[in-house]
Amino acid sequence: MNLLALGIDIAKLKFNVCLIREDGRLRHKVFANTAAGFSQLSAWLTANNVPQVHACLEATGTYGEALATYLADSGHRVSVVNPAAIKSYAGCQLSRTKTDKLDGELIARFCLTQQPPLWTPLAPEIRTLQALVRRLDSLQEMHTMEVNRLSSGVSVPAVETSIQSLIKSLEGEIKRTEKLIKEHINSHPTLKSDRDLLLSIPGIGAATTARLLAEINFHHHDTARSVAAFTGLVPRLRQSGTSVRGRARLSKVGSPRIRHALYFPAVTAIRCNPQIKAWAKALRERGKCEMQIIGAVMRKLIHLAYGVLKSGRPYDPLYAQNA
């Protein structure tokens, strides 16, 4: 069954939609990016005799998550695609003009012609965990900013007192949020089991485990390489003929949150995990630079995480040799 394509150009306060009818005609509409706007979209589709659509929108931060979840819960098919895919499609169409209305049409045509894979909403417990983890990240960033501001030297006592007070308040919120994350994971058996399996991997601690569980649905991937590709940790080659021989780099097509969360665990694994330490040494002897080695170890940790979660067994040193 071919559903009508609905392109959605999402923004913070509003979203533009473009519906492609069976006869090729276009219908445009703008709605507020609120719960009331979502209901108005449903009423608009009903008024146009469209019971179900294949909706497509770009993965642009958190602006579209509520709308995508609403549409999926309402029985529509939903695709959330990488903005780079839409940009490449626009280039193929020789598109020269960019407006919210035209972007909605472009996304609708992309949906109609490319049939992107369907998006599955996160389970409620994962949504909560993700919100808590991202809040913790924000609190830690604010704490670092204030500590740096204080250490840079403050000449006005009142300002110094204000900064110290805010630092103390942030430290309290950080501890409270860390406690909420731990309690939330412990209250859901599947999350708790997955956390314990991930913690068995040397180099991965509680903070990294929570971030991995919040940002990656390991159980929806068929291979470890698929997870690595999702996180942008697979190499991208640049070779063409005899003249182009670019150095392989990480694709970085995916959430930077995961790569950021894995950087220090990779450094720790190189130092503390005997198998990864030996593997990293071999890479170093082959002429790989330190950042290439760290990137390879980050990918290795993703493979190990996938292995323990798929097998349901704690880390085994043999995984490091075969992952």
The 10s digit of each residue's pLDDT in 126-171 is 999 999 999 999 999 999 999 999 998 888 999 999 999 999 999 9
The SS3 of residue 55 is strand
Residue 195 lies in a domain: no
- What domain range is 46 assigned to? 4-114
Count of Cβ atoms closer than 10 Å to residue 107 Cβ: 31
Q: Is the pLDDT of residue 51 over 90?
A: yes
The continuous run of DSSP H or E covering 184 comes out as helix 157-186
Same domain, 12 and 50: yes
Residue 296 lies in a domain: yes
Tell me the pLDDT tens digit for each residue of 291-314. 888 888 999 999 999 999 999 999
Residue from 52, 68, 66 nearest 19 by CA: 52
What is the radius of gyration, based on Cα positions, of the chain? Answer: 23
- Which of the listed residues 114, 148, 177 is the one where a domain comes to its end? 114
> Is residue 275 very low, low, confident or very high in pLDDT (cuts 50, 70, 90)?
confident
Asked if residue 79 lies in contact with residue 91, where contact means CB atoms within 8 angstroms, the answer is: no
> Is residue 203 very low, low, confident or very high in pLDDT (cuts 50, 70, 90)?
confident
Q: Work out how many domains the chain is built from and give that number.
A: 3
- Which of the listed residues 114, 146, 161 is the one where a domain comes to its end? 114
Give the model's pLDDT for residue 244.
Answer: 42
Residue 81 lies in a domain: yes
Give the model's pLDDT for residue 140.
Answer: 96
Residue from 145, 133, 276, 279 nearest 209 by CA: 133
Same domain, 102 and 135: no
Same domain, 34 and 95: yes
Same domain, 243 and 151: no
Residue 172 lies in a domain: yes
Residue 119 lies in a domain: no
Same domain, 141 and 80: no
CATH of the domain at 82: 3.30.420.40
Same domain, 44 and 77: yes
pTM of the model: 0.79
Tell me the pLDDT tens digit for each residue of 18-33. 999 999 999 999 999 9
Tell me the pLDDT tens digit for each residue of 213-259. 999 888 888 888 888 888 887 765 454 455 444 455 555 566 788 88
Give the model's pLDDT for residue 1.
Answer: 58
Same domain, 278 and 236: yes
Give, in order, the Cα–Cα distances in Å from 12 to each of 71, 141, 280: 17, 22, 44
Give the model's pLDDT for residue 292.
Answer: 85
Same domain, 18 and 99: yes
Residue 197 lies in a domain: no
Residue 183 lies in a domain: yes
The full DSSP string for 93-118 is: TT-----HHHHHHHHHHHHHHH-PPP
Residue 196 lies in a domain: no
CA 263 to chain centre: 16
Same domain, 105 and 132: no
Same domain, 149 and 177: yes
Same domain, 156 and 96: no
